[in-house]
Amino acid sequence: MSLEGPTARDLRFPPAGIVTPADGAAEPGRRPHPSPSADSRLALEIRGLVERGDLDAARERFGALVAIHQRRANRIAYQYLRDQADADDAVQDAFLKVFRRITSYREAWPFEVWFTRILINGCLDRRKARARRERWHAPGEISDRDQARLSAAAARDRGPEARMLAREQRGRISAAVNRLDGRQRMIFVLCHYGDCTPREVSAITGLNESTIRVHLFRAAHKLRALLGGES
């Protein structure tokens, strides 16, 4: 059965940043913590609906799966892409890809691991495409999108001093994270922005859990040095 037809509208994903009832019980800004296999069981249920041809019910149940992972996915995508619009698009594409491939999902993989791999691969592809575009971008030329981003930043700069200082600090931290090497950055992002445990990162990356912990320690040590000893 082909699943190439569904679009974002067909799947009725909740808009980025909107908390659905399934997500509402979680601590603000953090992903909900269902039982370890709840999302995996839901994915298997959706797979069964698709295999039986009940796509309407599958799309409806898929909305609950999106609600569980959307906030976490947006945090991960943003750390890779550093642009909210690109991050939103990457997350939407990842969910669409997951739905279209749901019949290939197997019980041996926690759904979170399977989904995160798809999301990260999509973010890396977008970064490569952006790098190729920027090589052809004329020096000094500012695109409409960049101009809109600069205007929005200027508007935000007129806010209270506390907000400006907090934004500057977040910017310094993000810049420091981007200076980590590729593997350390990925592990740090998954643990601190994706709420993954070292064991979950091990499953996602295929690295030994002890290796994950070493990289995480080294990443934190380097970040403290880059930030001048700040925690």
Q: Is 194 found in the same domain as 221? A: yes
Q: Is 39 found in the same domain as 133? A: yes
Query: pLDDT tens, 13-45?
Result: 444 333 333 333 344 444 444 444 789 999 999
Q: Which domain holds residue 174?
A: 150-231
The domain tally of the chain equals 2
Per-residue pLDDT of the chain (231 residues; tens, 9 = 90+): 434 444 444 444 444 333 333 333 344 444 444 444 789 999 999 999 999 999 999 999 999 999 999 999 999 999 888 888 999 999 999 999 999 999 999 888 889 889 999 999 999 899 888 877 766 644 444 444 554 554 555 555 555 555 555 566 666 777 777 778 778 888 888 887 777 888 888 888 888 888 888 888 888 888 888 877 654
Q: Is 77 found in the same domain as 102? A: yes
Token pair belonging to 114: 């399977």
Q: Is 167 found in the same domain as 96? A: no
Residues 6+ apart with CB under 8 A from 160: none
Which of 222, 127, 120 lies closest to 176, judged by CA? 222
CATH number for the domain spanning 68: value is 1.10.1740.10
Q: Is 173 found in the same domain as 79? A: no
Query: pLDDT tens, 189-201?
Result: 888 777 788 888 8
Q: Is 175 found in the same domain as 82? A: no
Q: Is 131 found in the same domain as 165? A: no
Q: Please list, residue by residue across 10-37, b when 16 or more beta carbons sit within 10 angstroms of its beta carbon and e when fewer do.
A: ebebeebeeeeebbeebeeeebbeeeee
Q: Is 1 found in the same domain as 96? A: yes
Which of 156, 51, 64 lies closest to 105, judged by CA? 51
Asked if residue 6 lies in contact with residue 99, where contact means CB atoms within 8 angstroms, the answer is yes
Angle at 208 between CA 204 and CA 209, to 5 degrees: 80
In a domain, 143, yes or no: no
- pTM greater than 0.75: no
Question: Hey, what amino acid is at 174?
Answer: S
